[in-house]
Chain A
Amino acid sequence: MTNSHRVGVPVEAPPLPGQAPVVAAALAIGILLLGIQLWILTVTLDLFLSGRGGQLWLLAAVSGLIFGGGLGVLWVLRRRPRVRHPLA
């Protein structure tokens, strides 16, 4: 951060050293989980169309668990804003 920033003006906080690969890995895992959710949807559709729709709640629960995890990560990130106010 340089001294050219004005006091009280929020600036973007760069990730801490070593944190950027962690964030990238977390995003990659998230995208992978999204793919698993898509696969679950196709399995659910296949079972539904074949008339075996009685036990689909388990697949919906797993999909909901992944969605809940994503909401949890968003909630954590909301508590850690991306901008910070430089000191004088």
Chain B
Amino acid sequence: MKPHQPAYVSAGDREQRRAEVRRWRAEFPYHWDVDDLVSRRELLQFAVFASGALFVSTAALAGLGAVKDLSGTESQPIARVSDVPEGTAVYFNYPSSDDQAMLLHLPGGVFVAFGQKCTHLSCSVYFQPEHGRLYCPCHEGVFDPATGEPIAGPPQRRLEQIALQLQGDTLYAVGHTP
């Protein structure tokens, strides 16, 4: 048996319904006819504009990379081989006075040099000969002193390696290794 439905609505119910509509209109004062609709063409235009912005950003980075690559770097003396005992490091600035770098004398008589800038958030990386590692104290990033590759912590890229050249008894920095 169906429940009884009243054939009439009382004045109180009508007033309550009007109040509910007024409240809904006050909270959402938009009508379908005056709402702004974005057409497919407008969406496409916006997408092409964004595409242009991405292209300009990529081209700017490529241009900066090419300029940096073409400008090259000058050779700079770092230290005499006899002044860097095995298992120690010498800190220097290369290629500019604002770029910190380090020369490592690894066991076996191998010399390597890296930029000190951590590839995570650009903190300074230090050589810890007692642990045989390069260590970034900011976020505990660890790099291999032989290759500069990240082996622990947040860094994902290897350290910038500096090419070395031995002239007589002196080691020179002669650019960056790709």
Contacts and interface: CB of A to CB of B under 8 A. Distances in A.
B44 A46 contact: no
Contacts, number: 99
B107 interface: no
Contacts of A41: 54, 57-58, 61
Contacts of B59: 60, 63-64
B68 interface: yes
Given A63-B59, A67-B51, A52 B178 contact: yes
A71 B48 contact: yes
B41 A73 contact: no
B47 A34 contact: yes
Interface string B59-70: 101101110110
Contacts of B133: none
B55 A67 contact: yes
A70 B48 contact: yes
B16 to A, nearest CB: 40
B52 interface: yes
A53 B47 contact: no
A31 interface: yes
B43 interface: yes
B51 A33 contact: yes
A56 interface: yes
A34 B59 CA distance: 16
Contact of B41 (A47, A49, A53, A82): A82
Contacts of A45: 61
A57 B62 CA distance: 5
Contact of B58 (A49, A52, A63): A63
Nearest to B117: A49
Contacts of B65: 47-48, 52-54, 56
Nearest to A23: B40
B43 to A, nearest CB: 7
A50 B119 contact: yes
A21 interface: no
Interface of B: 39-41, 43-45, 47-48, 50-52, 54-55, 57-59, 61-62, 64-66, 68-69, 119, 157-158, 160, 176, 178
